[in-house]
Structure 1
């Protein structure tokens, strides 16, 4: 296999990964609170050949003295884009939409018997019965929503008149006429590149994140509570632009075809050389 085939095959492998990311973006164009990912590329390690041992012959040269031969391209980063999505009015009291693009709800997920805190922008909340007298606040997938103390939020089954303030305070009128107030658990995401998608429109920290968690996200409690910004009776749509995704998809397909053609031509050239008698 010659160098041109190696370069093309390496690049095709990375283009396939970009194609998968674009496909995932398009598939979630109608998912509430979904954040798209964008890909950037960089060169793979290049080989340098010293073709000019006498440096005096290269006086005034502006480029490196060696011949640099690359071996293809690779994905440098798959970055989540936190750009705010459009808001749609629903009029439903348990629907919320963040108006600050860095803020996320805290969700409790049980994975293989282990409870883990996850994060989501999907504000389509509902109530799930946990006993004859109590209900629990959950997200659209049925996972419990946490309060600012990482506790599940429960109410009397007959509670009504749900009101959610702009700072994330949930107020519920109980059957005895009293009000139950609870602050929704909300974080501000400072470094989204450290979080990974864990399915079901949720984000989570990897097991070995390698940095101080406080540098990745901030718990909006106490005085920081005033930074919370949300709207009741609305949902945030996905920030995926289908027009841009279709354009990127076509560009990736053309690049993939070009690399495939390079392999075909290299194979034909090797066949011609091997056929020489």
Structure 2
């Protein structure tokens, strides 16, 4: 009976985590450059069941020796789905969209060093400096980096103009787009920013993608699919909840028989 309770409980926990993943996707359906995630599951370590030695007492009730029984399930993680979002034209010169694979590099000043994060969100704003230029920053104030990991800076009197290769017309800088040998090692730090947990040699400059000025990338969340997945997941959650209730009733009956 205890195993029935445990297995159903692992199912409840796994379904709850999947619901959390779906809810996060739905909440970010309008977030620029957001990539949806899909939950994946693994079976808990199975156990091998051996028959009792007194087989003559279990005639007609024996299972094959060594049969393996599952012992519940757990959420193995959530995979980021990298499909391109639909381009959305804004006609705003500070909006940039990556057409293809890759990520913008944005920096945050931490003491005397620059901490680098990665994002698909190309919605930027002007941030003036003390030397007659302005930087491109996101909503959190992180500044856009060029291919040499330096802040992109444009003269104050100049409007931003970027070609498809990412070259800034008023300067010699080129916006640095990078990609990863394993993008699943990107950890979401919130605010649509990612930190890479792999090694430096797994990061490389991408030349197969282009930049479109005056556009942003919509999220790749399909609300109809997310709602369908939510209904299915809620139904699975309810089934596991009922399993716990039935197992509890069976334990009550067993205890009643023992006491009598």
RMSD (Å), alpha carbons = 2.1
CA separation of 1:111 and 1:29: change in aligned 2, threshold 3 A: farther
CA separation of 1:246 and 1:76: change in aligned 2, threshold 3 A: same
1:246 paired residue number: 227
TM-score, scaled to structure 1: 0.83
Give the CA deviation at 1:15.
Answer: 1.5
1:262 paired residue number: 243
2:175 paired residue number: 184
* 1:134 and 2:137 are equivalent in the alignment: no
1:214 paired residue number: 201
Structure 1, 130-139 or 114-123: larger mean CA deviation: 130-139
Q: Distance in 1 between matches of 2:86 and 2:142?
A: 24
CA separation of 1:113 and 1:252: change in aligned 2, threshold 3 A: farther
Q: Distance in 2 between matches of 1:256 and 1:75?
A: 14
Find the partner of 2:186 among 195, 201, 205: 195
Give the CA deviation at 1:247.
Answer: 0.8
CA separation of 1:6 and 1:114: change in aligned 2, threshold 3 A: farther
Aligned 1:2-41 pairs, distance under 5 A: 2-41=2-41
Secondary structure of the corresponding residue to residue 250 of structure 1: helix
Aligned 1:62-81 pairs, distance under 5 A: 66-81=66-81
Cα displacement string for residues 58-78 of structure 1 (whole angstroms, at most 9, x for unaligned residues): xxxxxx952212111112331
Unaligned runs of 5+ in 1: 54-63, 173-179
Q: Distance in 1 between matches of 2:168 and 2:137?
A: 13
Secondary structure of the corresponding residue to residue 242 of structure 2: helix
Cα displacement string for residues 83-132 of structure 1 (whole angstroms, at most 9, x for unaligned residues): 000001111112111110x2110000246886311101111122112237
TM-score, scaled to structure 2: 0.88
Cα displacement string for residues 153-173 of structure 1 (whole angstroms, at most 9, x for unaligned residues): 22222222x21111111213x
Q: Distance in 2 between matches of 1:35 and 1:189?
A: 15
